[in-house]
């Protein structure tokens, strides 16, 4: 099984660099802050469109923003 996780450190750095809070990021993405919190906790549940929007807004590549782990 493959699991996609958010790189929390990269997200924290990108938010600080862009002077965004998670609420501001949610607003820019057009989603509720509660939904964004769910995405942050469980990235594998996010649609590819939402993942791409996060990358575009934060200026990070997929490899920088997400960690792919292969489970057993």
CATH number for the domain including 66? 1.10.260.40
Report whether pLDDT(17) > 70: yes
Question: Taking residues 56-68, what's their average pLDDT?
Answer: 88
Q: pTM score, two decimals? A: 0.74
Is the CA virtual torsion 40, 16, 50, 66 positive or negative?
A: negative
Number of compact structural domains in the chain: 1
Reported as type and span, the H/E element at residue 1 is: none
**Containing structural domain, residue 36:** 2-70
Report whether pLDDT(12) > 70: yes
Residue 48, Ramachandran bin (φ over 0: left; ψ between -120 and 50: alpha; else beta)? alpha
Q: Coil, helix or strand for 68? A: strand
pLDDT of 46-59, one tens digit each? 778 888 888 899 99
Q: Coil, helix or strand for 66? A: strand
Report whether pLDDT(68) > 80: yes
The structure tokens 């594998």 sit at 44
pLDDT of residue 42: 66
Report whether pLDDT(1) > 80: no
């Amino acid at each position: 099984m493959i699991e996609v996780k958010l790189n929390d450190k990269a997200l924290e750095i990108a938010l600080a660099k862009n002077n965004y809070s998670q609420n501001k990021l949610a607003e820019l993405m057009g989603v509720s802050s509660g939904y964004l919190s769910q995405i942050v906790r469980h990235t594998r549940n996010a649609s590819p469109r939402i993942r791409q929007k996060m990358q575009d807004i934060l200026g990070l590549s997929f490899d920088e923003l997400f960690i792919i782990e292969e489970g057993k």
